[in-house]
Amino acid sequence: MPNRLAHETSPYLLQHADNPVDWWPWSPEAFAEARRRDVPVLLSVGYSSCHWCHVMAHESFEDDTTATQVNERFVAVKVDREERPDVDAVYMEAVQAATGQGGWPMTVFLTPDAAPFYFGTYFPPESRHGLPSFRDVLDGVSRAWTERRDEVGEVAGNIVKDLSSRSLAYGGDGVPGEEELAQALLGLTREYDATRGGFGGAPKFPPSMALEFLLRHHARTGSEGALQMAADTCEAMARGGIYDQLGGGFARYSVDRDWVVPHFEKMLYDNALLCRVYAHLWRTTGDDLARRVALETADFMVRELRTAEGGFASALDADSPVEDGGETSGDERHAEGAYYVWTPAQLTEALGEEDARDAARYFGVTDEGTFEEGASVLRLPPDTGPVDADRIASIKERLLAVRARRPRPGRDDKVVAAWNGLAIAALAETGALFDRPDLVERATEAADLLVRVHMGEGARLSRTSKDGRVGANAGVLEDYADTAEGFLALAGVTGEGVWLEFAGFLLDIVLDQFVAEGGALYDTAHDAETLIRRPQDPTDSAAPSGWTAAAGALLSYAAHTGSEAHRAAAEGALGVVKALGPRAPRFIGWGLATAEALLDGPREIAVAGPADDDLARALHRTALLAPAPGAVVAFGTPDSDEFPLLRDRPLVDGEAAAYVCRHFTCDAPTTDPAELARKLGR
């Protein structure tokens, strides 16, 4: 019989709805039940595309004996970290403080008052590799709760006290300037892997936000070193196994330093951010590889992640079904990467011997393999010899058709507001830069969904939806900030001022509900559910933090409207970049990119003219092609009241004209696209 999770919208929670564990969703009722029964809470946090979450679920949560032990001694609460990033952040901070590390699945034992007292991540069904078995952990925690309750209470109280007393030094002594950004660049240079691209060692993550900073720094200062690091890293990733050489799109990270073997899950936020980076790299250099990767990644998002309602799903799993050989043939199991990897024999079966030999050479498929069981991840090794482009295109098309018949990885169909905001920005800009109106249309449809479903008729933004049904969880800071970022990009590309209006609505809520004294920002609203600590983290991780994303969106909105309140809030938030940028530039890349926009103005470009006028369209395209950091673009007729930038910006001698401004103070207008390009640094 399904448990309580059967009524949830999260695909991750629904995956556990038939477990014998009597799961509860995170709710006051779950903790009330723990108090009534006088038992601790087992909190298990994960997400749909998490490989080890699936492993622990299969080994322990689907096991009747283990489930009986859980049900008799605990109230079990399952949380999708992507639906409740606030819950995840608070308890992950406790796990990391206690153990020095973290990860998912996250396993935490709480008192009925939600205070944590014992921590871990993945626990195996049998003791191995220094890890106790999950059943032993359950037994030990239960005995401690029964026999040493005072000690448990003391530990929990000390942990909560420690977490509550932590204060965040965010700067507050001004915005970052030339010195801090130069120090950040130096810090990235020291950590740069000049041989392989990227920063640091294995595992190696795509540094999308640091790359955006490097591109903006080059645009503002002309630094060739910054551009070289960005371009070489983008090429290394695009040629590596982390990039899907057949279907486009990026995997989550590379397990090695050379970008050869990925962790195969594909996340919407990674692909949205990287699509935008490659489009911006092309805008700067005209590089054909950057153009191809930007478009292929955009097409991947539309083809593989777009939902029936017009939004974008969260992720594709790393695992996919495979059929066991031998005695267990016919029984389905799941294996990581099975959908993507190839052996020489599989190439021969798909292509024939001659084309298979060329495909193996071109994609680096060897008899030994680069992955497991002799399989290889497709990549583009250097020095593969002469290439017949038409033949390779035919080979890719045939391999993709064969791959499409393999069992597909699972898809997490929930629509997350923040990540859809990132996708809207990426698709809108990529569509505009490469003359792909279909991509702009897909971005607009996703924006419509966020307005219609996630904003609805209420005054606030909901974090998730699935199948057009809005979830129960309130939006957090990143949802407001990234959705506003997407709307602002869409406004600049389409010339439709309604998106500027929607962005302003969301950012006014940021000012009202998320800003603390001195310019700091909280991840949750002032009136959000009270947890043991109010989460607050300015560091960029897999995606921009809510803090730095809000700073960027606030600054762009201020540039569009002249609002001093929004600019002041952006500057206040950027105090943290002054504090952290020189010391940890890899972990505040979006903040550094926003600081580059602040130092550049940012530039405000008003293109006055009707949308059906050839000159107006040429000026608009020139403005969008500008590499000026964080530049905002308003396009429409001078009498339009949708864009404040267009007010008092008339046509020139009856012709469309472009105005380049800072702080609403403009240079002389131009009717010449080439002159506009020169003004904007192209």
pLDDT digits (tens, 9 = 90+) for 242-259: 999 999 999 999 999 999
Q: Is the pLDDT of residue 337 over 50?
A: yes
DSSP string, 309-367: TS-B-SEE-SEEEEE--GGGTT-EEEEETTTT-B-HHHHHHHH-HHHHHHHHHHHT--S
Looking at residues 415-420, what average pLDDT do you find? 98
Looking at residues 608-636, what average pLDDT do you find? 97
d(CA 679, CA 300): 35
Hey, what amino acid is at 606?
A: A
Secondary structure of 603-643 in HEC code, one letter for each residue: CEEEEECCCCCHHHHHHHHHHHCCCCCCCEEEEECCCCCCC
| Tokens, residue 171 | 């700067």
* Closest C-alpha among 103, 363, 134, 120 to residue 241: 363
* Closest C-alpha among 645, 642, 661, 660 to residue 672: 660
In tens, the pLDDT along 88-98 reads 999 998 888 87
Looking at residues 570-584, what average pLDDT do you find? 94
Hey, what amino acid is at 43?
A: L
**What sign does the CA torsion over 667, 668, 674, 678 have?**
negative
| 10 SS3 class | coil
* Closest C-alpha among 259, 258, 271 to residue 312: 271
DSSP string, 216-271: HHHHHH--HHHHHHHHHHHHHHHHSTTB-TTT--B-SEESSTTS-SEE--EEHHHH
d(CA 64, CA 142): 18
Strand partners, 633: 605
473 with 463: CB under 8 angstroms? yes
d(CA 624, CA 224): 22
| 56 SS3 class | helix
- The angle at the Cα of 270, spanning 582 to 229, to the nearest 5 degrees, equals 45
DSSP string, 538-587: ---SSS--HHHHHHHHHHHHHHHH--HHHHHHHHHHTHHHHHHTTT-GGG
Looking at residues 17-29, what average pLDDT do you find? 96
Q: What is the mean pLDDT of the chain?
A: 93
pLDDT interval class at 455 (50, 70, 90): very high
d(CA 161, CA 403): 53
Helix 417-433, helix 288-300: angle, nearest 10: 140
| Tokens, residue 293 | 């990767």
Cα 341 to chain centroid, rounded: 25
| 535 SS3 class | coil
Strand partners, 336: 319
In tens, the pLDDT along 100-156 reads 788 899 999 999 999 999 988 999 999 987 789 999 999 999 999 999 999 999 999
Strand partners, 416: 464
Q: Which pairs from 636-641 meet CB under 8 Å and 24+ separation?
A: 636/495, 636/497, 636/607, 636/608, 636/611, 637/608, 637/609, 637/610, 638/608, 640/497, 641/497
Between residues 334 and 324, which one has the greater pLDDT? 334
9 with 79: CB under 8 angstroms? no
* Closest C-alpha among 535, 482, 549 to residue 88: 535
**What sign does the CA torsion over 620, 434, 601, 570 have?**
positive
Looking at residues 620-626, what average pLDDT do you find? 97
* Closest C-alpha among 4, 73, 83, 79 to residue 43: 79
* pLDDT the model gives residue 327: 36
Looking at residues 600-625, what average pLDDT do you find? 97
Mean pLDDT lowest among 364-368, 463-467, 637-641: 637-641
* pLDDT the model gives residue 168: 65
332-336 vs 319-323, strand pairing mode: antiparallel
Q: Could you give phi then psi for residue 320, rounded to 5 degrees? A: -145, 160
* pLDDT the model gives residue 331: 43
In tens, the pLDDT along 144-178 reads 999 999 999 999 998 888 887 776 656 567 899 99
199 with 213: CB under 8 angstroms? no
pLDDT interval class at 558 (50, 70, 90): very high
In tens, the pLDDT along 179-193 reads 999 999 999 999 999
Looking at residues 370-396, what average pLDDT do you find? 89
75-80 vs 41-46, strand pairing mode: parallel
657-662 vs 604-608, strand pairing mode: antiparallel
| 681 SS3 class | coil
| 511 SS3 class | helix
| CA-to-CA separations, 65 to 4, 105, 318, 435, in angstroms, rounded | 20, 20, 28, 59
In tens, the pLDDT along 540-553 reads 999 999 999 999 99
**pTM for the model:** 0.94
544 with 142: CB under 8 angstroms? no
185 with 199: CB under 8 angstroms? no
What whole-number percentage of the chain has pLDDT above 70? 97
d(CA 213, CA 351): 43
d(CA 521, CA 293): 35
Element (H, E) at 644: none
Which residues 6+ apart lie within 8 Å of 499 measured at CB?
447, 487, 488, 490, 491
d(CA 602, CA 631): 5
469-470 vs 464-466, strand pairing mode: antiparallel
